[in-house]
Amino acid sequence: MSIIRYSPLQAMLSRWPDIWDEDLFAGTGSATSNLNVYETKKAVVIEANVAGVDKDDIDITFEKGTLWIQAKKKMEEKSEDRKYYSRSSFSYSYKIAVPGEIDLGQEPAVTSKDGVLRVEFKKSEQAQPKKLKVQA
């Protein structure tokens, strides 16, 4: 039998969740669930949750390969006959490096439908897949 040194700090840290564990935040509604990034054959698409915000209150900036989406909503309601005043606000902010080789000469297509903002960047001609022929 060997003697093992007791370290209370090590015992406490061994039960602490690992921050790199992917399942740690699953299902908690974290910010990562509000952003969807994927590639098609001809485009790079970024979809962001901006539920409840009008299209005029969304600010989109693309600079040096980074897309920044900011959406803010402020609501105020006042009623003299009921003697109450209600004020609320919420905001969304996403900053993401756009992956892949995109065509910087073309303006990205931006649409908003059912609370989802969709930004579509066209891929450059060099990045698009090409069919190759086998030569004998």
Q: What is the average pLDDT across 113-131? A: 86
Report whether 92 contacts 48 (CB < 8 A): yes
Please give the residue that has the higher pLDDT: either 105 or 16.
105
Report whether 127 contacts 101 (CB < 8 A): yes
Token digits for 69? 């989406």
Total-model pTM: 0.63
Please give the residue that has the higher pLDDT: either 58 or 23.
58
- How far apart (Å, rounded) are the C-alpha atoms in residues 106 and 102? 9
Whether 22 has a pLDDT exceeding 60, the answer reads: no
What are the pLDDT digits (tens) for 79-108? 777 776 777 778 888 999 888 888 888 899
- Give all domains of the chain, ordered by start, each with its CATH number: 31-122 (2.60.40.790)
Whether 31 has a pLDDT exceeding 70, the answer reads: no
Return the pLDDT at 28.
43
- How far apart (Å, rounded) are the C-alpha atoms in residues 54 and 58? 7
Report whether 67 contacts 46 (CB < 8 A): yes
What's the pLDDT band for 124 if we cut at 50, 70, 90?
confident
Please give the residue that has the higher pLDDT: either 19 or 133.
133
- Nearby residues of 47 by Cβ (< 8 Å), 6 or more positions away: 35, 36, 37, 116, 117, 118, 119
- How far apart (Å, rounded) are the C-alpha atoms in residues 125 and 29? 37
